[in-house]
Structure 1
Amino acid sequence: MRTRVGGRLDPMWELVLSIHQMTRPESYFISWSRRSRRKLAAAGLLRDTELLAALAPASGYFPDFLTPVSMPADFEEGIETVLSTDKSRLHAEVGRLDAPRGSGSWLADVGAGRPAALHRLGVAMRRYHRTVLAPHRDQAAQISGRWVNRLAQRTLAHGADAALGTLGPATRWRPPVLEVAYPVRRDLHLEGRGLTLVPTFFGINHPIALADPTLRPVLVYPVHREAFWQPGNATDPPGTDALRELLGETRATVLRLLDTELTTTALAARTATSPSSVSRHTAVLRRAGLITTTRNGTSVLHVRTMMGDGLVHRG
């Protein structure tokens, strides 16, 4: 009953998890990782990335202080919270890391709370964010926003069970236990504290919890992903005829209707065609990256992606 659906991306979780995707990218992020590495190299920032990866390794433990439970409103607030971590916590959390070659002394200085090392950490985080995250901030927020809105609507309509049961294939809700496919065996007892569900765009393929069980319980889960896409520069929307010529009349109509989430049955009624025909059209649109499809119980729900929005509205 105390489950809370977070309404936005957390900038510090996005930074840390994007570093994981940079060093060990899933297939979805391979092209982003390659482009980002080229940008970082061109800006002379590969060393910054190496230091951040040493502090937030892609496998195993990484310090909780990098992802404050306060859920900062923006990146700068998050940076200030990270850099103001008290020395005893820095020492305890950084001390659990296995320092990779070439970063041991810097990690030790961060763990000791030395001002020069913390300043270097802040500089590295800001440069990395500005170079490879900020250009995708709006796209990631819009993509995750679609997913969060659907999750929140289901929670309002059907309760917390609906939220806990739709966090992806790596989770299974067996009341009163939420099971997550996790790299290590652990049990997290909420003990009446509730659970905050935080969306992540750059997250790996299973939800993540904080390492310290005494902190406020948070479960960071990956949203349904859509392709990175940059809208065109055209300011005028395409004509009705052009979209119909490109997609065919029925698919163009389906795409226009999906500015809000609709079931296959609802689409069939609105397009005066059969559900099986709609299923074939939505499958083509989905493969093209123009819509996404999710299942809610026995219903199949479709909605336009950002790329689909761009095709209909041209930005």
Structure 2
Amino acid sequence: MLRIHFSAGDLSRTRIAEDPDPLWETVLSLHQLRERRRDPVLDAWRRRTCPRGVRALRALSPLMPPRGYFPDFLTPAAGSGGFECGIDAVLSTPRRQLRTELRLLSARNALPGWVGHLADGEVSTVRRLGRALRQYHASVLEPAWRDITSRVEGDRSHRTGTQGRLGTEAMLRAFAPTLHWQSPVLCADYPVERDVHLHGRGLLLVPSYFCRRTPVALLDETLWPVLVYPARPPCPQAPTNPGTRLAPLLGHTRAAVLQVLQRPCTTSELARWAGVSVSSASEHASVLRRAGLVASTRQRHHVHHTLTPLGSRLLAGEPTN
């Protein structure tokens, strides 16, 4: 279990990353290429990987084992500024940090001899790492970057919309079941027991296309706190033939309304996307709100609606108790 402890001021400093982080996506996509329990959603992407990407994969794999620790210097904060900014930060990692983190990596992993040269900051080996990262990005990630960006932008829009209307705590609650917010602690399933204290620095939440099961955090708590989590899939449009599995329980229209509300919207938007009148949309939202499935808030002349964690779990077919 991972427990992230918030103190005074941390909520106001918590935000969603603006763009996909190319170096986090590099590490996590490489994990997916080596994953035995493969996610079928990524099958088409795997088929597109080319031999050049496979060569880079072999070079990078020792530094990024699919289970357990991998060095923090591979995912620097500068990566949020773009791939080349991130590469520059990786190649400029201080020698002390290289040695410390690669020593941690070697404690549980058999590493090839060149990793020792990397730990010493040997220039040719550092440049070799940079070439492998660039080759991997060009051959494996760039062909899929439009899909990656679309998924991350959709997730960010959803999260920041909830945060802007209902506040940061409401946004954190809406991460369920991936994350669990019990003020002042954010919890996530994690391979080891770990507590992270933010100490007023806030938290950067990074949506990721290739993060699939459990969120990922940096090990070094002196670095800026980051939590990488699976970006939610795009919100489907309301069904033209509302024969969803929830229709027998809620009714066809109300099931469609619940599905539309996977993305926060106003009453008029809800009416347009669900194909009903504004008054009908308002009435259905009220019923769902009384059932604890929808949260509504007024801003000036508009009422905004979003799913509660209970509503999200019901729609996803997950346990609601």
The TM-score, its normalising length taken from structure 2, stands at 0.70
1:189 aligns with 2:201: no
Shift in alpha-carbon separation, 1:139–1:33, aligned structure 2, 3 A = closer
Q: Which residue pairs with 2:15 in the alignment?
A: 4
After TM superposition, give the deviation of residue 71 of structure 1 in Å.
3.9
1:227-248 deviation per Cα after TM superposition (whole angstroms, max 9, x unaligned): 9xxxxxxxxxxxxxxxxxxx67
Question: Which residue of structure 1 aligns with residue 96 of structure 2?
Answer: 88
SS in 2 for 1:215: coil
Distance 1:270 1:111, change over 3 A: farther
Contact 2:32 2:210 in 1 (8 A): yes
Q: Aligned runs of 1:1-315 on 2, under 5 Å?
A: 1=11, 2-24=13-35, 26-32=38-44, 34-36=46-48, 39-41=49-51, 43=52, 45-98=53-106, 103-225=111-233, 262=265, 266=271, 267=274, 269-270=276-277, 295-297=307-309
Runs of 5+ consecutive residues of structure 2 not aligned to the other structure: 1-10, 245-255, 285-305, 314-321
Structure 1 moving runs of 4+ over 6 Å: 247-251, 271-275
Shift of 1:226: 5.1
Deviation at 1:209, TM superposition (A): 0.9
CA contact (8 A) 2:205 2:226 kept: yes
* Contact 1:263 1:299 (8 Å CA) reproduced: no
- Secondary structure in structure 1 of the residue aligned to 2:81: coil
SS at match of 1:219: strand
Counterpart amino acid of residue 11 in structure 1 = P
- Is the Cα–Cα contact under 8 Å of residues 155 and 162 in structure 1 kept in the other structure? yes
Residue in structure 2 matched with residue 313 of structure 1 by the alignment: none
Q: Are the structure 2 counterparts of residues 33 and 100 from structure 1 closer, same or farther at C-alpha, using a change threshold of 3 Å?
A: farther
Deviations 1:248-300 (A, max 9, x none): 7999xx8xx99x7558973252498997xxxxxxxxxxxxxxxxxx8335666
Maintained 8 Å contact 1:21/1:33: no
Deviation at 1:18, TM superposition (A): 0.7
Query: Offset at 1:217?
Result: 0.8
Percentage identity across aligned positions?
Answer: 35
* Counterpart residue number, 1:244: none
Cα shift at 1:162: 1.7
Note the residue ranges of structure 1 that are not aligned, 5 or more in a row: 228-246, 276-293, 302-315
Query: What does the per-residue CA deviation read over 1:113-140, in whole Å, with 9 as the maximum and x for residues that have no partner?
Result: 1111111111111111111100111221
Quick check: 1:167–1:221 contact (8 Å CA) kept in 2?
A: no
With a CA cutoff of 8 Å and minimum separation of 6, indicate the structure with the bigger relative contact order. Answer: 2
Give the count of matched residue pairs.
Answer: 259
One-letter amino acid of the counterpart of residue 40, structure 1: C
